[in-house]
C-alpha cells in the first residue's frame, strides 16, 4: 500500500506513513461485522479524508449488513452514514471545506449536481447518487473518505456526539415532517420511537403539531412524553387505530417502525384528507392498503428519503439554538455487534453513537 499523503494535511491528525486504519467491515450478509485494519486509499478528485469522532448506528446500517433491501450493497464494505469528524486531508480541487473543519457525512454521499432533481432542491432523488456506508464505504472507522461537496459543516454550537444522530435520524425526520405538511394544531402520529422517532416527535412539535407517539415498549413511550408527545399508545397492548381515531384521527402519520403492520396501522389512524409518510424500510417490503378508502377519504401517501444538505444545515441550526434534544449513548466501535443486537431488541433508549 503506497503512502496516502499526497495533499495538504495536519500531522496532528494523520501520520504520514498511515497506510491502514481500523474500521468495522461487513464481509458477508448476516455475519457479524469484523473490526479490522483496512487500507487507506488515496483521495480521488473532490474527496476529503475525515478523522471520525463519532458515528451513529442507524437501523439502515443493520439493513445494509443483512442485505435486507431489493438493492444491496456489495461486501466487503464499511457501513455508517451518521459520521462526524475533522477534515484531515483534501484532494487538490476541494474548495468547500478546509483541513480542520468539523463535518457531517450523511447518507447522500455524492450526487451529480446537474440533473433535474439536483437543480430543483431534490438532490436526494439523483439517479447518480452514491450512499455512504452502502454503495461507498461509510463512517464506521477511524477515518472515512467523503466528497467535499456533500459533507455539511457542523457548527461550533453542536456537540459532535449530538451531530452524529442528527446527520441521518435528525435530517430524515425533519424532512418527513416538512413532506407531511404539518401545521399548527395538526395531530401527528409518530409510529416508532427509536433513533428517528425520538427526533420526529420534536420536529412535529416545532412545526406546531400535537403528537401521538406509538411504540411497543413502555420505556420508549415514557421518553416520547418527555420529548413533547401529548398522547402515547403501546401497540403491543392496545389497538393504535382505535386509540387515534378516538382522538379524532391523525392529520399526518409518519411510519418509522421497522414493521409493515405499523404502516397499515398508521394508515388506519388517519382522518379524512390525511397524509401518510413512508420512512422506515423493513426487509418485508409489502403492505396492504385499501383502494376504496384511500379514494373516498382523499388520503395522500408519500415516500420520504433522508433530506438535503440544506435540510441538515437547518437541523443543526435548530439544535444549536437549543430547540432539540438528542438522546444517545456512546459505545466503542469494537462493540458494534452488541450494539446492533441491542437496537434490534429495543434495548436502546434512542440512538447509539459509536466512538472509533
- For ligand NAD, the binding residue among 59, 309, 319, 328 (CB under 6 A) is 59
Are residues 79 and 33 in contact, defined by beta-carbon separation less than 8 angstroms?
A: yes
Helix (H) or strand (E) holding 338: helix 336-344
Are residues 269 and 240 in contact, defined by beta-carbon separation less than 8 angstroms?
A: yes
Give dist(CA 14, CA 185) in Å, integer.
Answer: 52
* SS3 (DSSP) at 17: coil
Cell of 136: 461507498
Give dist(CA 115, CA 125) in Å, integer.
Answer: 10
Q: Binding of ligand NAD at residue 83 (CB under 6 A)?
A: no
Q: Which stretch binds ligand NAD (CB under 6 A): 28-36, 40-48, 268-276, 298-306?
A: 298-306
CB of 261 to ligand NAD, least distance (A): 5
101: left (phi over 0), alpha (psi -120 to 50) or beta: beta
Site size toward ligand NAD, by CB under 6 A: 35
The entry of Zn ion, ligand NAD, none that residue 224 binds, CB within 5 to 8 Å by partner kind? none
Q: Binding of ligand NAD at residue 115 (CB under 6 A)?
A: no
Give dist(CA 65, CA 28) in Å, integer.
Answer: 8
Cell of 55: 458515528
Q: Binding of ligand NAD at residue 262 (CB under 6 A)?
A: yes
CB of 167 to Zn ion, least distance (A): 8
Which residue number, 7 or 117, has a Cβ lying nearer to ligand NAD? Answer: 117
CB of 295 to ligand NAD, least distance (A): 26
Are residues 247 and 270 in contact, defined by beta-carbon separation less than 8 angstroms?
A: no
CB of 59 to Zn ion, least distance (A): 7
Which residue number, 60 or 324, has a Cβ lying nearer to ligand NAD? Answer: 60
Q: Binding of ligand NAD at residue 172 (CB under 6 A)?
A: yes
Q: Binding of ligand NAD at residue 216 (CB under 6 A)?
A: yes
- Termini Cα distance of the chain: 22
Binding site residues, ligand NAD, CB under 6 A: 58-60, 63, 168-169, 172, 191-197, 214-217, 220, 235, 256-259, 261-262, 279-282, 304-306, 343, 346
Amino acid at each position: 500500500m503506497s503512502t496516502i499523503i499526497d495533499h495538504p494535511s495536519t500531522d496532528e491528525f494523520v501520520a504520514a506513513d498511515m497506510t491502514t486504519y481500523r474500521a468495522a467491515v461487513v464481509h458477508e450478509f448476516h455475519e457479524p461485522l469484523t473490526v479490522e485494519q483496512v487500507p487507506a486509499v488515496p483521495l480521488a478528485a473532490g474527496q476529503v479524508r475525515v478523522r471520525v469522532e463519532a458515528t451513529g448506528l442507524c437501523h439502515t446500517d443493520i439493513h445494509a449488513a443483512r442485505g435486507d433491501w431489493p438493492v444491496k450493497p456489495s461486501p466487503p464494505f464499511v457501513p455508517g452514514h451518521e459520521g462526524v469528524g475533522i477534515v484531515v486531508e483534501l484532494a487538490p480541487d476541494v474548495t468547500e471545506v478546509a483541513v480542520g473543519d468539523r463535518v457531517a457525512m450523511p447518507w447522500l454521499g455524492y450526487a451529480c449536481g446537474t440533473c433535474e432533481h439536483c437543480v430543483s432542491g431534490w438532490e436526494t432523488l439523483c439517479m447518480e447518487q452514491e450512499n455512504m456506508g452502502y454503495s461507498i464505504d461509510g463512517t464506521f472507522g477511524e477515518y472515512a473518505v467523503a466528497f467535499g461537496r456533500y459533507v455539511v459543516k457542523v457548527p461550533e454550537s453542536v456537540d459532535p456526539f449530538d451531530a452524529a444522530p442528527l446527520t441521518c435520524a435528525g435530517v430524515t425526520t425533519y424532512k418527513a415532517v416538512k413532506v407531511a405538511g404539518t401545521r399548527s394544531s395538526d395531530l401527528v402520529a409518530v409510529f416508532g420511537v427509536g433513533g428517528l422517532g425520538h427526533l420526529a416527535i420534536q420536529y412535529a412539535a416545532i412545526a406546531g403539531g400535537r403528537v401521538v407517539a406509538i411504540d411497543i415498549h413502555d420505556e420508549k413511550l415514557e421518553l416520547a412524553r418527555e420529548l413533547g408527545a401529548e398522547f402515547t399508545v403501546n401497540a403491543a397492548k392496545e389497538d393504535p387505530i382505535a386509540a387515534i381515531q378516538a382522538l379524532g384521527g391523525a392529520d399526518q402519520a409518519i411510519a418509522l417502525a421497522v414493521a409493515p403492520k405499523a404502516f397499515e396501522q398508521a394508515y388506519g389512524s388517519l382522518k379524512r384528507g390525511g397524509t401518510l409518510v413512508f420512512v422506515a424500510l423493513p426487509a418485508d417490503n409489502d403492505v396492504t392498503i385499501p383502494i376504496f378508502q384511500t379514494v373516498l377519504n382523499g388520503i395522500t401517501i408519500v415516500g420520504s428519503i433522508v433530506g438535503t444538505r440544506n435540510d441538515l444545515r437547518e437541523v443543526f441550526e435548530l439544535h444549536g439554538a437549543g430547540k432539540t434534544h438528542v438522546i444517545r449513548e456512546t459505545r466503542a466501535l469494537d462493540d458494534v455487534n452488541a450494539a446492533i443486537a441491542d437496537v434490534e431488541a429495543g434495548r436502546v433508549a434512542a440512538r447509539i453513537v459509536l466512538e472509533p
